[in-house]
Amino acid sequence: MRKLSLLALAISMSATAIAAPKPNEPIQPIEPYEVTDAAKVELGKQLFFDPRLSKSGFISCNSCHNLSMGGSDNLPTSIGHNWQEGPINSPTVLNSSYNIAQFWDGRVADLQEQAGGPIENPLEMGFTHELAVDVVSSIPQYVQSFKNVYNVDKITINEVTNAIAEFEKTLVTPNSPFDQWLKGDTEAITAEQKAGYQLFKEVGCTACHSGPAVGANTFQKMGLFEDYKTNNPAEGVAGLTGEDTDRFKFKVPTLRNVELTYPYFHDGAYWQLEEAVDVMARLQLGRKLESEQISQITAFLKSLTGEQPSFTMPLLPPSTAETPLPEPFVKKAKE
């Protein structure tokens, strides 16, 4: 019955280049996020943009997950507190609610648990949870917002990270040309992109990059057919388990918005998407692709760029006399 009506729909709409949706593809569309608690999301947005959650008063979540640049920082590895070079490439926060777990090695389960990490990471925001809570608690507008949203008089790090996670869940990117094509608009992607998608499936990319996020749902070894050569010391999942079989196993990154999130791989070593496609085909599938095939797959990957989050910039309430002062630089001992 359902098949019949889909067929009828396809026939009746063929004149406008709209065909039936494609439910059996290895990739599914990203759906818009329905906000249920707008006040919580707004508070989380403020905190995501507030650099006062860092020791320097200079670094916010948005510094390394810039929502104007695909939710990443477009650097090989991030710059953190006191200009320190971070150990690993900053993944995008866009569609991060689809991740099987957070971080390249999946060491934390969810977005709320994740959000506490960077605040007290000495290489990132360089702060402590206590001081971050002291900062928000010293600002009457924040105190009022936390009271409205969580019904608490005393703010703890749990409410801070919960609000940030709630905001992050809204950072989905639906309606990419590819999703429009999946939903039945046969003209939404170009002939080159269609050819690229066929290849993407045929050569076996979908073995690891599938589902709504086109990845993010398994951990896989980087370098199956050839070793991946890098100076970056990250060990992947082996860093947590100590198991040799987990060496170089990383969470498969999402390929949603991948055109925006260069440079690529956990060490950020490749700036061009074409290079990343070539490396993947050789190292993960043992295949040397022709340059035309690489162009086609790259064109397909660009059809995964969805609608970027758009919102009013949050206004952050001013500090007060009680707010701990920022310490932008580590004081050097006098010579």
Q: Whose Cβ is closer to ligand HEC: residue 57's or residue 86's?
A: 86
CA 130 to chain centre: 27
In the chain, the N- to C-terminal Cα span, in Å, equals: 83
Does 159 help bind ligand HEC (rule: CB under 6 A)? Answer: no
Does 256 help bind ligand HEC (rule: CB under 6 A)? Answer: no
Q: How far is the CB of 276 from ligand HEC (least distance, A)?
A: 4
Q: How far is the CB of 319 from ligand HEC (least distance, A)?
A: 18
- DSSP string for residues in 55-123: TTS---HHHHSBTTTTTB--SSS-EEGGGEEPSSPPPP-TTGGG-SSBSTT--B-SHHHHHHHHHH-TT
Q: How far is the CB of 334 from ligand HEC (least distance, A)?
A: 29
Amino acid at 85: E
Number of residues that bind ligand HEC (CB under 6 A): 50
User: What does the alpha-carbon distance between residue 30 and residue 274 come to, in Å, rounded to a whole number?
Assistant: 24
3-class SS at 9? Answer: helix
Burial 179-210 (b: 16+ CB within 10 A, else e): bbbbbbbbebbeebbbbbbebbbebebbebbb
Nearest to 253 by CA among 112, 91, 13, 51: 91
Candidates 209, 210, 303, 304: give the one binding ligand HEC (CB under 6 A).
Answer: 209
User: What does the alpha-carbon distance between residue 254 and residue 108 come to, in Å, rounded to a whole number?
Assistant: 17
Active site residue 124: yes
| Options 11-19, 177-185, 245-253, 323-331: segment touching ligand HEC (CB under 6 A) | 245-253
Q: Whose Cβ is closer to ligand HEC: residue 18's or residue 254's?
A: 254
User: What does the alpha-carbon distance between residue 251 and residue 211 come to, in Å, rounded to a whole number?
Assistant: 14
Q: How far is the CB of 275 from ligand HEC (least distance, A)?
A: 9
Does 276 help bind ligand HEC (rule: CB under 6 A)? Answer: yes
Nearest to 182 by CA among 210, 215, 204: 210
Q: Whose Cβ is closer to ligand HEC: residue 102's or residue 180's?
A: 102
Does 166 help bind ligand HEC (rule: CB under 6 A)? Answer: no
Binding mask 121-150 vs ligand HEC (x if CB under 6 A, - otherwise)? ---xx-------------------------
Query: What residues are labeled active site?
Result: 124
Judged by the rule CB under 6 A, the positions of this chain that interact with ligand HEC are 59, 61, 63-65, 78, 80, 86, 88, 90-91, 93, 96, 99, 102-104, 111, 114-115, 118-119, 124-125, 164, 203-205, 207-209, 220, 222, 224, 250, 252-253, 255, 258, 261, 264-266, 276-277, 280-281, 284-285, 297
